């Protein structure tokens, strides 16, 4: 995580990969990797895959991660729909006139 926030993105990717390789059932590693992929690598598809892994693992001691992962997935999908111009999937506030 420190490598990511220090803008050492290649090192951060290596460290996330190693952490997940060492413990593929570590939900928080997948969760943080998703944030890195979304913010650091502009890879929403990869981020959603990692957040889905958090949900799949469904750790009893980290239910907040599962809830946050679901929220991030919904947000990313909504942003993606907006960029594609899918008006049926975008919720915009009506202007107050």
Each residue of 30-80: pLDDT tens digit? 999 999 999 889 899 999 999 999 989 977 777 888 888 888 888 888 887
Cα-Cα-Cα-Cα dihedral sign, residues 75, 78, 82, 84: positive
Judge residue 8's burial from the number of C-beta atoms within 10 Å of its C-beta, 0-12 exposed, 13-18 middle, 19 or more buried. middle
Q: Which CATH architecture has domain 2-84?
A: Alpha Horseshoe (1.25)
Does the reported pTM lie above 0.75?
no
The rounded distance, in Å, linking the Cα atoms of 39 and 6 is 13
CA distance 57 to 59: 6
> What's the token pair of residue 65?
């991660």
Q: Which two tokens stand for residue 88?
A: 């049926």
Q: Are 66 and 46 in contact (CB under 8 A)?
A: no
Place of tokens 């009506």: 94
């Amino acid at each position: 995580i420190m490598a990511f926030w220090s803008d050492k993105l290649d090192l951060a990717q290596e460290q996330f990969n190693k952490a997940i390789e060492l413990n593929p059932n570590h939900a928080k590693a997948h969760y943080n990797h998703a944030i890195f992929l979304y913010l650091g690598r502009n890879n929403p598809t990869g981020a959603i895959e990692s957040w889905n892994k958090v949900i799949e693992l469904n750790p009893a001691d980290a239910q907040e991660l599962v809830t946050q992962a679901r929220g991030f997935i919904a947000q990313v999908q909504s942003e993606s729909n907006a960029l594609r111009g899918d008006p049926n999937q975008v919720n915009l506030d009506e202007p107050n006139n």
